[in-house]
Amino acid sequence: MATRHGSATVTLPSDTEILITRRFEAPRTLVWDALTTPRHLLRWWGPDWHPLVGCEIDLRPGGTWRYVSRDADGNELAWHGTYREIVVPERIISTEVFEGHPEAESLNITTLTEQDGVTTLQTLVRHQTTAFRDGHVHSGMERGMQMTFNRLDDLLAVAGTPSERFRRVAGRFADRVDEVPAYAWANPAPCAGWTARDVVRHLLEWVPSVIGRAGITFPDIPSVDDDPATAWARLADTIQAALDDPGVAHRSFDAGPPGQLTVEQAVDMLVTGDVLIHTWDLARATGLDERLDEGIVADMFVGIQPADDMLRTSGHYGPKVPVPDDADTQTRLLAFVGRTP
C-alpha cells in the first residue's frame, strides 16, 4: 500500500472546534481495527519521542478508554474518556480528558468513510471554550499528530505481508481464548467430536508439527488443559518471531505435501487460514464474537476455490453447506469449508 506521510489537515470550523482529516490507502475495516484494538494502537499511537506504553479499551457505549505515553526520560502523559456511541466500522463518539488539564474535557466525533480503497478519517474535537480549543491547537498537537498518523500509515502499508496477516489473525484468536469463560471450555465445537479446548489443542499440536520442520525450536508450552491462553501466546509468539526475522522467514524447507516452501509461505498458506477458521469455531462454541478479519476472509475465499476437490478428499473439511446467494463473504467462506454459519 502507498503512504500519505504528512498529509493530515487541521481546520477550525468554529470558535470551539478542531477538525482533523487524514486519508489512508487502506480499507476502512483495517483502519477501524487499528484505531480500536490495544495491541495495534501500542504499535503506532503517539509520536516517536512519546510512544504509547499503556492502552485500555472497553469498546461499547458507556465503556471507558485510557492511553498512557512515555518519553525516554520516563515522563508520562495520559488521556482517558468514555464512549458515547459506537457504530462499527463507521463512527466513534467519546469524551476525551488530557489528565494534565482535567478541566478541559472535549467531545470527539471520529468518522471513517471509504471510497475506492481509500479511507478518510475525520475527528471533530468539540471543546467547551475557545480558550481550551486554542490551548489544544498551540500545544504542538499538529506535529505529534502528523508523526502519529505517519506511523499508522507505515503499519497499514505492510498489512498484506505474511507477518502482519498472521499477527492480525493470531491476535484475534488470542482475544477469543482470553474471553472464554471457565465453564465454556467443555462446550462442543463445530468440529465433530471436539470441545472448545480441543480447538486450541489442535493448533498447539499441529502447527509445530508443520513449521517445526523448518528447524524452528518451540519453547516449553503449558498444557492446554491448565492454561490455554499462555499456551497459545507462547506458540503464536514463536511463529511471529520467525516471521519478523528475515533470515528465518525466508528459510526454505520441505513442508510435506505442499513441497518446498519458505517459512513465511508455509505460515501464510497453511497456518494463518487454519487459525482464522478455528477462531470462528472457538467463538461459536463459546458464544463469543464470531466476526473475522474481513480482508483475510476475502483473500482466503478467493484463494481456496481452486483447491475444492483436494479439500474434500483430504478429510480435513466436510461437504460445502448451502447458503443464500446474497450471503456475505465470511458466511460463504465458512460454508465452503463445511461449517454451518
Which domain-ending residue is among 128, 157, 186? 157
Whether residue 127 contacts residue 136, with contact meaning beta carbons closer than 8 Å, is answered with yes
Which domain-ending residue is among 131, 157, 183? 157
Chain position carrying cell 492502552: 55
Give the whole-angstrom CA distance, residue 6 versus residue 201: 46
Same domain, yes or no: 151 and 166: no
Which domain-ending residue is among 140, 157, 174? 157
Same domain, yes or no: 286 and 239: yes
pLDDT attached to residue 306: 87
pLDDT attached to residue 1: 59
Neighbours of 169 (CB within 10 A): 25
Whether residue 13 contacts residue 20, with contact meaning beta carbons closer than 8 Å, is answered with no
Same domain, yes or no: 18 and 40: yes
Same domain, yes or no: 214 and 92: no
Neighbours of 276 (CB within 10 A): 25
Range of the domain at 73: 9-157
Same domain, yes or no: 152 and 266: no
**Residue 306, domain member (yes or no):** no
Same domain, yes or no: 133 and 188: no
Which regions of the chain are under pLDDT 50?
none
Give the whole-angstrom CA distance, residue 35 versus residue 139: 23
Same domain, yes or no: 14 and 55: yes
**Residue 139, domain member (yes or no):** yes
Retrieve residue 229's grid coordinates.
Answer: 491462553
Same domain, yes or no: 247 and 118: no
**Residue 48, domain member (yes or no):** yes
Same domain, yes or no: 179 and 248: yes
**Residue 2, domain member (yes or no):** no
Give the whole-angstrom CA distance, residue 324 versus residue 95: 41
Task: Give the chain as a 3 state SS string.
Answer: CCCCCCCCEEEEEECCEEEEEEEECCCHHHHHHHHHCHHHHHHHCCCCCCCEEEEEECCCCCCEEEEEEECCCCCEEEEEEEEEEEECCCEEEEEEEECCCCCCCEEEEEEEEEECCEEEEEEEEECCCHHHHHHHHCCCHHHHHHHHHHHHHHHHHCCCCHHHHHHHHHHHHHHHHHHCCHHHHHCECCCCCCEHHHHHHHHHHHHHHHHHHHCCCCCCCCCCCCCHHHHHHHHHHHHHHHHHCHHHHCCEEECCCCCEEEHHHHHHHHHHHHHHHHHHHHHHHHCCCCCCCHHHHHHHHHHHHHHHHHHHHHCCCCCCCCCCCCCCHHHHHHHHCCCCC
Please name every residue paired with 221 in a beta bridge, in sequence order, or none if there are none: none
Count of domains forming the chain: 2
Looking up residue 24, the CATH number of its domain turns out to be 3.30.530.20
Looking up residue 193, the CATH number of its domain turns out to be 1.20.120
**Residue 137, domain member (yes or no):** yes
Same domain, yes or no: 179 and 98: no
Retrieve residue 263's grid coordinates.
Answer: 517459512
**Residue 235, domain member (yes or no):** yes
Measured CA to CA in angstroms, residue 234 lies from 171, 270, 275, 307 at distances of 12, 19, 15, 31
Give the whole-angstrom CA distance, residue 245 versus residue 25: 26
**Residue 3, domain member (yes or no):** no
**Residue 203, domain member (yes or no):** yes
Same domain, yes or no: 257 and 124: no
Same domain, yes or no: 117 and 244: no
Give the whole-angstrom CA distance, residue 277 versus residue 258: 20
